[in-house]
């Protein structure tokens, strides 16, 4: 069995996993999807508006030059564009500026829907894939780190779509056009200066930004670590209070944030180094071409308008170049973040359906474990050939010490994992041959600790069956003996249960969980130590609800307190992954083996507690 790791949570591993080119190839289908012509039309329209915006922008310094030459008397009005005078040229210059901005905004208006659609598709794909990953993956995951990987990955895609397509591409186009204009209009010497300046500028920017990316990656890793500590502490709020550990938790969090602060300061300082170097290089290039054009004006080969045009073109390319370092750094970081997210998407689902697998059909509810073997790690087997049958409508119980494999049997039945040996069948159908969706729809589970959504009681009960009617929801609540309690609350079924249901008591949460499962109405039921975390009085009350719930269903009860399963049709005693004893309560007591010893010990403990 392949072990799934949580390598996706590391930015470094995400970067190692795929190059920037591979990552961009993963994004391309979202920009040019098969069968969605409207997306392609919008992409083409955005590129057309982009090209028009740059062409208009390139004409602005030339119009500006002609206006200056007319004003200083170097060019007759009839020799200018369309024979315009200084006022007309000034108006044309203003219209060109507005046209360039308008085309850019139209580009964004057209493209924004494409970008947002891509983000939604990617976010949904990631969310769906995470739910497909195995229980093994989710047991070992770090919730805070995982959420940051998804958050950064989606933001990275958003940034890449906007800046790679709508900023870097246009910048390259504009620099190329300006270089060609300088070569054709002023001479190759001007183009050499411009190209050399841009080359040195870009090289310096990329080198320094690569150095900054290393610092930024460390800063992100430290940010993830601090975020994980904060979420972990908040999820364990009660434990922190029980051990009076607020100061400890604050110190632990502050230590992580202090490391983040050091790296954040280094990131800010390195940005100043980048900005200063960029300013020096671009200023040198600007001064060089301005001096060359000034000499040309003095020698009579150029006009004052030409001098102004050279300055205008240099200023025009300087503005986007100033953002190149930031854009390049963000693109590099976006590629790292996206690689981490795509690495997460490539994590294999450990349990998958066979091609064309049929849906499970339950006719009676016969559950068979046939020589089932299983291990989380080959060196440590959990189940070593477990066999038993649960006849339709029968209730069997699994008991035994911790680590004997009781809860593992429940997880295998729900197919959170696949067996490594033997087979599990329901009405003769091997679980590996049917769809997981149909299997999950026909098995109900009441766990030891019912976890509720941070929503209303109504929402949590209704979660048992999509589209359930109000009458069905209330009937399920009454059967679970929670309806009267709910109606006593000021907001009734609209009462919020809080995060993980913390606003309710253990017994109330458990009853909501029972109501939810009753609403699902499954033919097969697994009670995984459903009352072991409750006090004796609450347990006895809920036990009645559980017994009523099991009527007419095939029930597997995983029990800690033997008194709760004394009336089971069959009791299996698990020890070290094997069935050491099986029989009814009376038969096992008469055998005077493991079960009888466990019964005697628990009975003595209960009598001592009662006497106390």
- Residue 160 sits in the same domain as residue 228: yes
- Residue 385 sits in the same domain as residue 428: yes
Distances (CA, A) of 111 to 24, 37, 62, 165, 324: 18, 14, 30, 10, 22
Question: In the predicted model, what is the mean pLDDT of residues 143-151?
Answer: 64
| pLDDT bracket for residue 8 (50, 70, 90) | very low
% of residues, the chain, pLDDT over 70: 86
Q: How far apart are CA 478 and CA 204, in angstroms?
A: 72
- Under the phi-then-psi rule, with left for phi > 0, alpha for psi from -120 to 50, and beta for the rest, what region is 244? left
Which pLDDT does position 75 carry in this prediction? 59
Which pLDDT does position 426 carry in this prediction? 92
Which residues neighbour 65 within 8 Å (Cβ) at sequence distance 6 or greater? 303, 305, 306, 308, 309, 312
**Partner residues linked to 375 by β-bridges:** 381
- Residue 73 sits in the same domain as residue 15: yes
Q: What is the pLDDT of residues 259-287, one digit of tens each?
A: 889 888 988 888 888 888 888 888 888 88
Distances (CA, A) of 352 to 123, 151, 229, 349, 357: 22, 27, 33, 6, 10
Question: In the predicted model, what is the mean pLDDT of residues 20-43?
Answer: 75
Give domain status of residue 281, yes or no: yes
Which pLDDT does position 13 carry in this prediction? 40
Q: How far apart are CA 56 and CA 64, in angstroms?
A: 13
Q: Are strands 429-430 and 421-426 parallel, antiparallel or unpaired?
A: antiparallel
533, pLDDT greater than 70: no
Q: Which residue has the tokens 């001096």?
A: 291
570-575: strand order across its sheet: 443-446, 524-528, 554-558, 395-399, 570-575, 578-583
Q: How many structural domains comprise the chain?
A: 3
141, pLDDT greater than 70: no
- Residue 160 sits in the same domain as residue 289: yes
400 or 213: which leads in pLDDT:
400
Which pLDDT does position 7 carry in this prediction? 36
Write out the residue range of the structural domain in which residue 529 sits. 356-442+522-612
| pLDDT bracket for residue 120 (50, 70, 90) | confident
- Residue 31 sits in the same domain as residue 153: yes
- Residue 62 sits in the same domain as residue 95: yes
Window from 342-356, 376-390, 400-414, 586-600 with minimum mean pLDDT: 342-356
Q: How far apart are CA 490 and CA 403, in angstroms?
A: 44
**DSSP string of 576-601?**
TTEEEEEE-HHHHHHHTSHHHHHHHH
| pLDDT bracket for residue 15 (50, 70, 90) | very low
Which pLDDT does position 145 carry in this prediction? 58
| pLDDT bracket for residue 86 (50, 70, 90) | confident
Question: In the predicted model, what is the mean pLDDT of residues 83-106?
Answer: 82
368, pLDDT greater than 90: yes
Q: What is the pLDDT of residues 461-518, one digit of tens each?
A: 998 888 889 999 999 888 888 898 899 988 888 988 876 666 788 778 888 888 888 8
Please state, rounded to an integer, the average pLDDT across all residues of the chain.
81
Which pLDDT does position 499 carry in this prediction? 67
Which pLDDT does position 372 carry in this prediction? 92
CATH number assigned to the domain comprising residue 395: 3.40.50.300
CB atoms within 10 A of CB 319: 8
Q: What is the pLDDT of residues 555-576, one digit of tens each?
A: 999 888 888 888 889 999 998 8
Would you call 533 exposed, middle or buried from its count of C-beta atoms within 10 A (0-12, 13-18, 19+)? middle
CATH number assigned to the domain comprising residue 149: 1.20.1560.10
Q: Which of 555, 524, 188 is nearest to 362 (CA)?
A: 524
Q: How far apart are CA 42 and CA 285, in angstroms?
A: 38
Give domain status of residue 173, yes or no: yes
- Residue 568 sits in the same domain as residue 603: yes
Which pLDDT does position 147 carry in this prediction? 66
**Partner residues linked to 399 by β-bridges:** 573
Give the dihedral of Cα atoms 530, 534, 536, 539; nearest 10 deg.
-40
**Per-residue exposure over 94-133, b if at least 16 CB sit within 10 Å of its own CB, e if not:** eebeebbeebbebbeebbeebbebbbeebbeebeeebeeb
Which residues neighbour 603 within 8 Å (Cβ) at sequence distance 6 or greater? none
- Residue 543 sits in the same domain as residue 487: no
Question: In the predicted model, what is the mean pLDDT of residues 336-352?
Answer: 74
Which pLDDT does position 1 carry in this prediction? 38
Q: How far apart are CA 206 and CA 343, in angstroms?
A: 25
- Check if the beta carbon of residue 480 is closer than 8 Å to that of residue 515: yes
- Residue 511 sits in the same domain as residue 545: no
- Residue 165 sits in the same domain as residue 313: yes
Most confident region among 312-316, 320-324, 347-351, 597-601 by mean pLDDT:
597-601
Which pLDDT does position 327 carry in this prediction? 73
Which pLDDT does position 81 carry in this prediction? 57
Give domain status of residue 459, yes or no: yes
Q: Are strands 443-446 and 524-528 parallel, antiparallel or unpaired?
A: parallel
% of residues, the chain, pLDDT over 90: 10
Q: Six-digit token pair at 289?
A: 């071409």
Which pLDDT does position 2 carry in this prediction? 37
- Residue 340 sits in the same domain as residue 367: no
Window from 64-73, 266-275, 312-321, 539-548 with minimum mean pLDDT: 539-548
Tell me which of 466, 486, 519 is where a domain ends: 519
Question: In the predicted model, what is the mean pLDDT of residues 316-336?
Answer: 73
């Amino acid at each position: 069995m392949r072990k799934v790791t949580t390598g996706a949570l590391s930015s470094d591993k995400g970067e190692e996993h795929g190059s920037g080119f591979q990552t961009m190839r993963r994004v391309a289908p979202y920009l040019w999807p098969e069968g969605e012509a409207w997306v392609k039309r919008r992409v083409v329209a955005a590129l057309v508006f982009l090209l028009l915006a740059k062409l208009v922008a390139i004409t602005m310094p030339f119009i500006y030059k002609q206006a200056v030459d007319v004003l200083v008397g170097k060019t007759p009005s009839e020799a200018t564009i369309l024979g315009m005078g200084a006022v007309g040229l000034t108006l044309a210059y203003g219209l060109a500026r507005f046209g360039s901005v308008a085309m850019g905004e139209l580009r964004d208006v057209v493209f924004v829907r494409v970008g947002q659609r891509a983000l939604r598709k990617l976010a949904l794909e990631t969310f769906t894939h995470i739910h497909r990953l195995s229980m093994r993956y989710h047991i070992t995951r770090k919730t805070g780190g995982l959420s940051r990987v998804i958050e950064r990955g989606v933001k990275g895609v958003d940034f890449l779509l906007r800046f790679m397509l709508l900023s870097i591409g246009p910048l390259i186009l504009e620099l190329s056009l300006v270089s060609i204009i300088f070569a054709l209009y002023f001479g190759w010497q001007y183009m050499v200066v411009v190209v050399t300046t841009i080359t040195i500028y870009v090289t310096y920017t990329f080198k320094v930004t690569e150095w900054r990316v290393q610092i930024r990656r460390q800063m992100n890793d430290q940010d993830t670590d601090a975020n994980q500590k904060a979420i972990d502490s908040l999820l364990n709020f009660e434990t922190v209070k029980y051990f009076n550990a607020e100061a400890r938790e604050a110190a632990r969090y502050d230590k992580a944030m202090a490391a983040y602060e050091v790296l954040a300061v280094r990131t800010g300082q390195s940005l100043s180094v980048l900005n200063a170097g960029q300013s020096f290089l671009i200023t040198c290039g600007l001064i060089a071409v301005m001096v060359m054009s000034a000499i040309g004006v003095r020698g009579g080969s150029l006009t004052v308008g030409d001098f102004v045009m050279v300055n205008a073109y240099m200023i025009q390319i300087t503005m986007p170049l100033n953002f190149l370092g930031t854009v390049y750094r963000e693109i590099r970081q976006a590629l790292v973040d996206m690689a981490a997210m795509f690495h997460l998407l490539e994590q294999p689902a450990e349990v998958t359906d066979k091609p064309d697998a049929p849906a499970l059909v339950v006719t009676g509810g016969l559950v068979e474990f046939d020589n089932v073997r299983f291990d989380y790690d080959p060196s440590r087997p959990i189940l070593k050939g477990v066999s038993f049958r649960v006849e339709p409508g029968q209730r069997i119980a699994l008991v035994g010490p911790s680590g004997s494999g009781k809860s593992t049997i429940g997880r295998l039945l729900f197919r959170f994992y696949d067996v490594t040996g033997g087979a599990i069948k329901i009405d003769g159908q091997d679980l590996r041959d049917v769809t997981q969706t149909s299997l999950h729809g026909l098995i109900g589970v009441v766990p030891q600790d019912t976890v509720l959504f941070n929503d209303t009681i109504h929402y949590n009960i209704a979660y048992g069956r999509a589209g359930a009617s109000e009458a069905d929801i209330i009937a399920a609540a009454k059967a679970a003996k929670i309806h009267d309690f709910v109606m006593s609350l000021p907001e009734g079924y609209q009462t919020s249960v809080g995060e993980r249901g913390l606003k309710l008591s253990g017994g109330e949460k458990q009853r909501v969980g029972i109501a939810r499962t009753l609403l699902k109405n499954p033919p097969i039921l697994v009670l995984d130590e459903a009352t072991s975390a409750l006090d004796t009085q609450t347990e006895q009350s809920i036990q009645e609800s559980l017994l009523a719930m099991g009527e007419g269903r095939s029930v597997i009860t995983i029990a800690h307190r033997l008194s709760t399963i004394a009336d089971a049709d069959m009791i299996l005693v698990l020890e070290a992954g094997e069935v050491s004893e099986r029989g009814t309560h009376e038969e096992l007591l008469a055998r005077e083996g493991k079960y009888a010893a466990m019964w005697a010990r628990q009975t003595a403990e209960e009598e001592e507690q009662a006497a106390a």
